[in-house]
Chains A and B, each alone.
Chain A
Amino acid sequence: MTKVVRRPDLTFWEKIYFVEIFKGLATTMGHAKNSLLHADHFKVINYPDVQPNLPRDYRARHRLMKRPDGSPRCVACFMCSTACPARCINIVAEESPDHHIEKRPASFEIDLLLCVFCGFCVEACPCDAIRMDTRQAVLAGDNRRDFVIDKTKLMDWEPKDYPLEDAQSQKAPGGTLHAQALEEFKSGSYH
């Protein structure tokens, strides 16, 4: 079944086009006048002098979460690199010295030029070790190597830049501190 969509008929004044020109000119002049007189009504920001205020759940550059002792929370399970549709995550695993943890990443590299920022790695991670909440949406570099970020770059973040309610990431599940965290959780001091 075909549905015929009729365009609305133009009125006489619309057909001669002339009046509509002046309407359009009035619209654009209104915008120009507003921009000239009311600078605070700009729809754009003065980037990069003013940075965009991105929401916290904006999928931006990744970061690796840390345990209280500063080691990566990642257990090198390869879930993220398996889930990654762009295959931009390269993990080399090694044995962990902590007897509670089986593996840890010897190297963890993300090629941001390949990354499509889909967030599947974050979804796939079983221990909340990778997040994309750095709000660094604009990435710059001089060569392609600059866009391949390694473990140190991924873990180079300050807890104070993140909301306080996110502090649970300081105490990771697993590892020698897991029991301590459980104790704290039971006594109510865990936050």
Chain B
Amino acid sequence: MDILHWITSHPYQTAGLILPIAIPLILFQVLPLLVLLERRGAAFIQDRVGPSRAYIPLPGLRIRAFGMLYNATDLIKLLFKENFVPPFAYKSFYWLAPAIPVATGLLTPALLPWFSPILYQDGAGVSSLTGTLITTSSGLLLLFALGSLSVYGVVLGSWSSNSKFSLLGGMRASAMMISYEVSMGLSVLGLLLIVGSFNLTDIVEWQGHHTWGMFVQPIGFLLFLVSMFAECNRNPFDVAEGESEIVGGFHTEYAGVKFMMFMTGEYLHVLVASALLATLYAGGYELLPFPVPMLADTSGFVPFLTTVFRPESYLSLDTLWVKAHLGGVVAIMLGITAVLVFVFATLIAGRRRNYAQQDAQDRDMRLREYGIYCSAFTGLGVMLLLGAIACGLFMTTQPLVAAGTLSPQPIYPGWVNAVTAVLQFHIVIGKTLAFAWLFIWVRWTLPRFRYDQIMGLGWKVMLNIALVNLLITAIVAKAIGGGR
């Protein structure tokens, strides 16, 4: 009972304890979505149907869940495979290697801001719960350090396999990843010069108050994007594997769960890279690419959605907008979601009509299944729409002004902060999935580069463009900002 009492009286501290576990777990929930997106996206790009065979058998019905069950079947298959270790492998490193990509992939979300800092009354003073799990002024450096650790997974896996195919794949992949880290670091420096901070929360807040990083640093954005493709070992930079030349590359000798961990690490890496792109260059948790004018006082511009109040660095009074109009913001977001759900239901209805014309053995079952999806998603959309209307009409917020603090910082009720945080988290996840789709889209469009082309692009082209970009940015920033 004491614990329950502590939890109810210290909601923010409890949230601070739960979030480090919750955010990696939520990422694991997004991961199957990414795998499904890859499968379905590849199929649609190639004019195929995509995953449609795995199903849950019910009487007179087969629930396919849009191919989502393939994740479950993959998991079951890989878990029950023999945990084979080749007799010629270096055992310890062989076992260690698959864990490294997963570990780094799960650690990096701790450094990304998932929602804006929340201020709350803590006794007599005011404390803040930051959107990053680890609050540090060198967040980006730590992130790059963790990101470059993932090359160890490739190197150790390839070396300890004691196989020539593995070694070739691992060597060329590690050389490429290390080469592209140079241009990755240099391309992001331009943005850091403008923002003036390594703290990712600061970078996102700056974007909220000005504009998204991709508009400020378009060349830096493109260079960073290309470097991220190389870092993730994705097409057109997927030299780590190569079915036509070196079998599976660095994981040729891996099977079962250890292979699954390599694949999980790869997809986590894509997810984290997308989240990083969204954070650095697409405004992170800020919904709109530009600040909106305050309604109460049109002289200032504020980010569309924020909980933070920073008189020391940016415009004051910027909390008035969203805090007073949280209901409207929630209504807009729910309305957008409802429209997307309706569009999805319409697409399924179209698929259902298409199936009704086909001479399929399981036509009735398919029609029943798609009918269930249609009605379920229509119902969900109606509920979201009703929720949006209810939020727009009835959700109003009043700040609780904190007493006895250094500056008059408005403190909001817990549920306002929670709703804002949840909204912002979903914005980040949405942008992350959008960038993940870019990764998938490029993978199924471009052929892979030859190895010398990769090295030439990295050292002769991208490095030089990054340096020139950095130089010009520095000169312009000095001329405009005046040494700030």
Contacts and interface: CB of A to CB of B under 8 A. Distances in A.
Interface of A: 21, 24-25, 27-29, 31-32, 34-44, 46, 48-51
A50 B351 contact: no
Nearest to A33: B44
Interface stretch (B5-13, B14-22, B355-363, B377-385): B355-363
Contacts of A24: 445-446
22 contacts: A21-B445, A24-B445, A25-B442, A25-B445, A28-B441, A29-B441, A31-B44, A32-B41, A32-B44, A32-B441, A34-B47, A35-B44, A35-B48, A36-B347, A38-B350, A39-B351, A40-B354, A43-B47, A43-B48, A50-B359, A50-B361, A51-B361
A48 B445 CA distance: 29
Contacts of A25: 441-442, 445
Given A36-B347, A40-B357, A46 B52 contact: yes
Contacts of B347: 36-37
Interface of B: 41, 43-49, 52, 347, 350-351, 354, 357-363, 366, 441-442, 444-446
A24 B444 CA distance: 10
Given A25-B445, A28-B441, A37-B347, A42 B47 contact: yes
A107 B335 CA distance: 73
Contacts of A51: 359, 361
The 7 A-B pairs of least Cβ separation, nearest first, read A35-B44, A39-B354, A49-B360, A32-B44, A28-B445, A43-B47, A28-B45
Nearest to B354: A39
A28 B444 contact: yes
Contacts of B48: 35, 42-44
Contact of A35 (B43, B52, B446): B43
A101 to B, nearest CB: 42
Given A39-B354, A42-B47, A49-B366, 9 more contacts: A27-B445, A28-B45, A31-B44, A31-B47, A35-B45, A35-B48, A39-B350, A46-B52, A49-B360
Contacts of B362: 49
Given A21-B446, A25-B445, A46 B360 contact: yes
B49 A46 contact: yes
Max count, chain B CB within 10 A of own CB: residue among A25, A34, A35: A35
A44 B445 contact: no
Contacts of B361: 48-51
Contact of B46 (A21, A31, A38, A50): A31
Nearest to B365: A49
A90 B102 CA distance: 58
Contacts of B46: 31
Contacts of A37: 347, 350
A37 B348 CA distance: 10
Nearest to B449: A17
Contacts of B360: 46, 49-50
Contacts of A42: 47-49
B236 to A, nearest CB: 9
Contacts of B357: 40
Contacts of A43: 47-48
A44 B250 CA distance: 34
Nearest to B362: A49
Nearest to A35: B44
Given A24-B446, A37-B350, A46 B441 contact: no
